[in-house]
Structure 1
Amino acid sequence: MNASEMDASDTLPACLGSAGWLAPGEPGRPPLPALGDEEGARLPEGLPPVVDAHVHLFPDGVFEAVWRWFEQYGWPIRYKLHTPQVLSFLLSRGIHRVVALHYAHKPGMARFLNHYIAEVARAEPRVLGLATVLPGEPGAVDILTEAFAAGLKGVKLHCHVQCFAPDAPELHEVYEACARAGRPLVLHAGREPASPHYQCDVHALCSAERVERVLQAHPGLQLCVPHLGADEFDAYTRLLERHDTLWLDTTMALAGYFPVMPPRRLLEVRPERILYGTDFPHLPYAWDRELRRLLALKLGDEVEAGILGGNALKLYGEC
């Protein structure tokens, strides 16, 4: 499936500029539109276990602050649900497991957020909770050690929100802590979706080349880059071919919402390294849109079973 195969009613206006996919959020320009597409009542029958490997969970106040940012600078949030409602929504529709991600945008937040996610995961065993830390904050390694002891399965960092380059020196202790503990790290290191309203130039900070430096310097680190590495799809295809510790998730890259679709080869070169993810609940379209677009590619039963859930369970040591 490519952009030309989408219904005209599903496509976005041709207003995206060189400042990034979120350029319509520049001052005086509106955020990207909601799609209003139909959603399924639950997952289709007959699918293998589906793991959504990219779901955001936050305390209520943090959720609401994130929603305000998206509404002003990104896109309308279709599902303004707090954590209990997020989990009820997805699990009741047939999602087998949820990987819960969050991030700290200033020092002193990480311990509180990690404790919150650990409590959520203890209460709902179908949640695989990840930790976070602000790279460079005092005691970063201790924060992660405590989070892993509390049962969190990995770490989530976000170059755009936390304003760091993937190969920044302050990251090395975090990478080494993950490698020692055998915990994967989910790193939003792709350049998109970029916005001028981040507090840094993410196109200057992020690149596939910088990610490759991390993979070379930390061979024991299992590293997952969301959004299929958007927008450097060809570069990430080559990285997958060269590095056995790199994983990608599909989040928002297959939904046909942004102006560029990844090449099919990116999914086929190392399909055992691709995870299905959505970014729920921060979506401007139907919760199952990514899934339907993925299934429409007809990648084959074995490949689909891995991407939809098996690969995520393997990455997080659940199978």
Structure 2
Amino acid sequence: MSSGDVPACLGPAPGWLGTPLAALNDAEGPRLPEGLPPVVDAHVHLFPDGVFEAIWRWFEKYGWPIRYKLHTPQVLDFLLSRGVSRVVALHYAHKPGMARFLNTYVAEVMRAEPRVVGLATVLPGEEGARDILAEAFAAGLQGVKLHCHVQCFAPDDPSLHEVYAACAEAGRPLVMHAGREPSSPHYKCETHALCSAERVERVLRDHPRLKLCVPHLGADEFGGYERLLERYDTLWLDTTMAAADYFPIALPRRTLEVRPERILYGTDFPNLPYAWDRELKTLLSLRLGDEVEAGILGQNALRLYGAP
């Protein structure tokens, strides 16, 4: 079977979300600790109200309880009032015809709040994908977000070539959930068949100008993504939920240390089952050093997105 022939439905996934996970009743801080370098949350979800509520229903049924059911204005007020200096706003379209609406929404949010770095989305393979992205970039959106699990595609599927080319030509980074986990049998595709570090390497090799960020430190193939970080200067990873001691994994510390200048702090806020600052506390407890901490907590994201 070629990379482009992976069927959209392959039966239940074997992943971490075989049954819904529990909420954690952990304490949250009132704001970021004093003395930190600028903190950029490079993985925040912003959606229109109705889309947010549909996502929360899915998570409550199949994923984990949502601790922070906040709509976009409240999400931004919550994080920015607690000391986060910038947020990278991510969204994704799960069916044709949604992308333009979502992109326009995030572009308007970004214009109203300059501390938001807004990304675009598109559904891989939908008609006019390059035009959709061109319009989004013209509107000021600063990258693209794709989700292999939700949108049911393999990273090396030929239908992605036009998206990768559009990002590379515009110099816009792509954030793509291409790791196998956290996976659920309630996705419409088998993510362990669609996703792998090997498939991502094909993308990096075939599109050498593409700036690619893989969330969740590439969970659960941490070793594979460590090797890709060592080989490719166009790959970044974000920490989202992989450094929070929530999933059934040990903290992949070496993944953080192999090329720390390519690691971004991210949370998945507001779709969390634990305290908003849990992952930050874990990262600070590692005592990675002032320079490394400053990079991971904010400077790496600012460099990736070219933000002042």
- Shorter-normalised TM-score: what interval? over 0.9
Equivalent residue number for residue 11 of structure 1: none
* Pairing 1:78-117 to 2, within 5 Å after superposition: 78-117=67-106
1:262 Cα offset (Å): 3.8
More deviation, 262-271/71-80: 262-271
Q: What is the deviation of 1:264?
A: 1.5
Residue of structure 2 equivalent to 1:212? 201
Retained in 1: the 8 A contact 2:243–2:252? no
Q: Map of 1:278-297 to 2, 5 A cutoff?
A: 278-297=267-286
Q: Distance in 2 between matches of 1:151 and 1:167?
A: 27
Tell me, in whole angstroms, the C-alpha distance in 2 between the residues paired with 1:272 and 1:197: 35
User: What is the aligned partner in structure 2 of residue 245 from structure 1?
Assistant: 234
Q: Map of 1:19-168 to 2, 5 A cutoff?
A: 19-24=14-19, 31-168=20-157
**Which one-letter code corresponds to 1:298 in the other structure?**
R
Secondary structure of the residue that 1:117 maps to in structure 2?
helix
Deviations 1:246-274 (A, max 9, x none): 00000000000001124321111100000
Structure 1 portions without partners, runs of 5+: 1-17, 25-30
Whole-angstrom distance in 1 between the partners of 2:297 and 2:224:
23
Give the secondary-structure state (helix, strand or coil) at the position aligned to 2:295. helix
In the alignment, the residues of structure 2 paired with residue 278 and residue 261 of structure 1 have an alpha-carbon distance, to the nearest angstrom, of 17
Unaligned residue ranges in structure 2 (runs of 5+)? 1-12
Work out the CA distance in 2 between the residues paired with 1:287 and 1:233. Answer: 24
Normalised by the size of structure 2, how large is the TM-score?
0.95
Q: Is the 8 A contact 1:233 1:262 kept in 2?
A: no
**CA offset digits 1:161-184 (Å, max 9, x no partner):** 000000000000000000000000
Distance in 2 of aligned mates of 1:77 and 1:262: 22
Aligned partner of 1:19: which letter?
Answer: P
Query: How far apart are residue 19 of structure 1 and its match?
Result: 1.6
Cα pair 1:295 1:304 within 8 Å, conserved? yes
Q: CA deviation at 1:198?
A: 0.3
1:303 aligns with 2:259: no
Question: 1:165, 1:210 within 8 Å by CA — same for their partners in 2?
Answer: yes
- 1:62 maps to a residue whose letter is V
Question: Among the aligned pairs, what percent are the same residue?
Answer: 82
Does 2:166 match 1:177?
yes
Cα distance in 2, alignment partners of residues 188 and 243 from structure 1: 18
The normalised TM-score by structure 1 is: 0.92
1:318 is displaced (CA, Å) by 1.1
Q: Distance in 2 between matches of 1:225 and 1:264?
A: 16
Q: SS at 1:224's partner residue?
A: strand
- Does structure 1 retain, via aligned residues, the 8 Å contact 2:120–2:141? yes
SS at match of 1:304: helix
> Deviations along 1:82-110, whole A, 9 cap, x unmatched?
00000000000000000000000000000
What SS does the corresponding residue of 1:186 show, helix, strand or coil?
Answer: strand
Cα distance between partner residues in 2 of 1:65 and 1:43:
30
Q: In the TM superposition, what are the counterparts of 1:192-203 in structure 2 within 5 Å?
A: 192-203=181-192
Equivalent residue of 1:174, what SS?
helix
Quick one: distance in 2 between partners of 1:186 and 1:105?
Answer: 16
Equivalent position amino acid for 2:296 in 1: I
Are the aligned partners of 1:102 and 1:132 in contact in 2 as well (CA < 8 Å)? yes
Between the aligned partners of 1:152 and 1:126, the Cα distance in structure 2 is 13
Q: Which runs of 4+ in 1 moved over 4 A?
A: none
